[in-house]
Structure 1
Amino acid sequence: MIDRLLGRAELKERIEELEEEKRHLERRAEAEEERRSDAVADRQRAEERVNELEHRIESLEERLERAEATEETVEFRRVSDRSGSRLTDALERFRAVESDDPEGLLTAYVPDADAVPATVSDWLGDRTALVRRAAPAVVLADDTGAVSAALTPPVEPEPFDRWSDRFRLDDAWFRPTGRFAFAVVRSDTFAVGTYEGDERIAFEGFTTDVKEAHSKGGFSQGRFERRREGQIDDHLDRADEALAAVAAGEDLDRVIVVGERSVLGRVRDRADVTDVSDATGKPKGALDDAFRDFWRVRIRAI
């Protein structure tokens, strides 16, 4: 009663409220301190991880620089193109190499720069960079280091790698063998021959009058381009029909089609092997040039 009269009751209530608020703030402060402590620890761990990653990045960058420097300094010992009898001679020389060790000679087909098998990279070391540059290639190496070469096959085999007592060099990868059709397709020229080995025993060819590119612009150009594209489409339809007839009427081991990159897609389904060719001219001459270029093999000494 006296406390209430003197206003002390309200003061006591206020003090209790303030003390409760103080305790609440102290608990919050303690929790915040714990969070800060955890945050500091987390930050320290993160900084340590960042430092670790920076060191790893620096190490990898140094390795990359060394690898790039190595690739720049390593060069092929010799590069030559072989075809016909000179190619036959080169292949026979490689085939003549034998090893008393059943795993003394390495042969591998590397289809691209990102598909070098471990057997090749482990053996060639820094010179693996040359294999990547040569791919696609059949790689040859022996366990004495006397033989080390990459050959670009006109007909690509399935990827493989093996150690044996002889190199694996199938004739069908490098030379015209068996009975097959070989064709060249351009937007205005088509030619196809049937071959037994390197001898052509049948021929068919034709050209289509396709208008030259138009450069005036406007509606006239659009109409001209549509007409030109129609002429090319008709030409390629005719080429596709001719290829289908050859494939259906002959007992062929394979069909090879080369030509302009922009038109190969139209006849790709008719072919077992396709390649880009810049052979031009009349059908028979274009076919002869394309055939000769296709069966040329590049040999690189690694």
Structure 2
Amino acid sequence: MLDELLGRASLKDRIDELEEENERLQSRYEAESERRADAATARQDAEEKVNRLEDRIAQLEGELEHVDGDGDSLAVRRRERLRGSRLAEVVGRLTSFRTGPEGALTAVLDSDDAVDDLRDETDIDLDDVLGERSALIDEATPCVLCVDDAGLVGVTLEPPVDLADEALGGDHDSRVTWTDRFALEEEWLLPTGRYALALVRTDLFALGVYESDERVDYRGFESDVKGNHSKGGFSQARFERIRDDQIDDHLERCTEALADYDVERLFVVGQRGVVDTLVEESGLEVAGTAAVDATGDPKPALEDAHRSFWTTDLRVL
């Protein structure tokens, strides 16, 4: 009676209703969290399975390239495409490797480099360690080469970033160093720190800002660009002029979008000709470019491009 007189009864009823609503929302949140966790686990399992299948395909393709009629051709012992946690694990093993002084060789090799060049420039003869298998290095360039003087480790890694200007061992002029460990930098092979990765096609733009492998910002759009020309209607020449103008407008939109983001490292991937044109005409300083085959809508295409870019080809010599 007193509660009714003081107007507290309705308040208590409202509190009870809110508590019940809170319990329902909490149960709903817990169910949704569990569903998302299950979905993330299923996706991770699927990605690991895809990785294993791609690794096996790459290994078989590598073996096929080197097998001749007698089956005696020189071939890498193993070839594997690495990404994600598997790549981090392999890089961790290599960086933790220790030898005596000047027992571990690290070399950054361009696509034009060869074992003979390494021998001529540095007086390093890898035949002493790898024997005839040193010839396999030429097929792996551009790459990072890691070899120890006992021949226990002999691998090449094809990094996603361009290492042409990298110097090793504190020597600004050297791309080769002998120390007691492999002079690998995680940022050469793994998504570390803050950076942006942009996917550019003739009709699509997608950009993600990342902290390591987690996307923290996103922007994407598609532009109306004519497809392949078909007979009838526009003449071929007029059609191509219109299409070229549409692509130019699209690349201008891409340049403006990129200018809105201030990040230390920018990677641009996608259709090779489109990427090269964008980088050249925009004057942007990029940390690396790559051709990737990422189709579909902007956001899922960006996920595919990011996954493809941060993939490293490992060869065990």
Same fold per superposition (TM over 0.5): yes
Task: Say which SS state the counterpart of residue 149 (structure 1) adopts.
Answer: strand
Structure 2 counterpart of 1:92: 92
Structure 2 counterpart of 1:190: 205
TM-score (norm 2): 0.67
1:264 has 2:280 as partner: no
Shift of 1:217: 7.8
Q: Deviation string for 1:82-139 (max 9, x for gaps)? A: 111111111111122211x201111111112435422264544532321110011111
| Contact kept? 2:113, 2:141, Cα under 8 Å | no
Relative to 1, partners in 2 of residues 1:216 and 1:103: Cα closer, same or farther, differing over 3 Å? Answer: same
Structure 2 counterpart of 1:76: 76
List alignment gaps of at least 5 residues for structure 1: 1-71
Task: Say which SS state the counterpart of residue 73 (structure 1) adopts.
Answer: coil
Shift of 1:272: 2.5
**In 1: Cα distance, 2:139 partner to 2:276 partner:** 27
| Contact kept? 1:137, 1:153, Cα under 8 Å | yes
Structure 2 counterpart of 1:295: 310
| Contact kept? 1:176, 1:295, Cα under 8 Å | yes
List alignment gaps of at least 5 residues for structure 2: 1-71, 168-174
Q: Deviation string for 1:169-208 (max 9, x for gaps)? A: 1011001111111100000000011111111111000001
Relative to 1, partners in 2 of residues 1:300 and 1:120: Cα closer, same or farther, differing over 3 Å? Answer: farther
**In 2: Cα distance, 1:156 partner to 1:75 partner:** 26
Task: Say which SS state the counterpart of residue 144 (structure 2) adopts.
Answer: strand
Letter in 1 for 2:198: A
Which of 196, 207, 231 aligns to 2:246? It is: 231
TM-score (norm 1): 0.71
**In 1: Cα distance, 2:232 partner to 2:146 partner:** 55
Relative to 1, partners in 2 of residues 1:120 and 1:178: Cα closer, same or farther, differing over 3 Å? Answer: farther
Structure 2 counterpart of 1:48: none
1:132 has 2:138 as partner: yes
The percentage of counterpart residues that share the same residue type is 47
Letter in 1 for 2:138: R
**In 2: Cα distance, 1:122 partner to 1:78 partner:** 19
Task: Say which SS state the counterpart of residue 95 (structure 1) adopts.
Answer: helix
Shift of 1:267: 2.0
Letter in 2 for 1:234: D
Task: Say which SS state the counterpart of residue 133 (structure 1) adopts.
Answer: helix
Q: Deviation string for 1:9-41 (max 9, x for gaps)? A: xxxxxxxxxxxxxxxxxxxxxxxxxxxxxxxxx
Relative to 1, partners in 2 of residues 1:155 and 1:74: Cα closer, same or farther, differing over 3 Å? Answer: same
* Number of residue pairs matched by the alignment: 226
**In 1: Cα distance, 2:86 partner to 2:105 partner:** 23
Alignment of 1:41-120 (within 5 A): 73-99=73-99, 101-116=100-115, 117-118=118-119, 119=124
Shift of 1:140: 0.8
Task: Say which SS state the counterpart of residue 240 (structure 2) adopts.
Answer: helix
Shift of 1:146: 1.1
Q: Deviation string for 1:129-174 (max 9, x for gaps)? A: 2111001111111111111000111123226111111011101100
Structure 2 counterpart of 1:67: none
| Contact kept? 2:202, 2:247, Cα under 8 Å | yes
Alignment of 1:138-157 (within 5 A): 138-157=144-163
Structure 1 counterpart of 2:225: 210
Alpha carbon RMSD of aligned pairs, Å? 1.8
Which of 282, 296, 301 aligns to 1:286? It is: 301
Relative to 1, partners in 2 of residues 1:283 and 1:76: Cα closer, same or farther, differing over 3 Å? Answer: same
Q: Deviation string for 1:197-235 (max 9, x for gaps)? A: 111111000001211111428971211111111111111
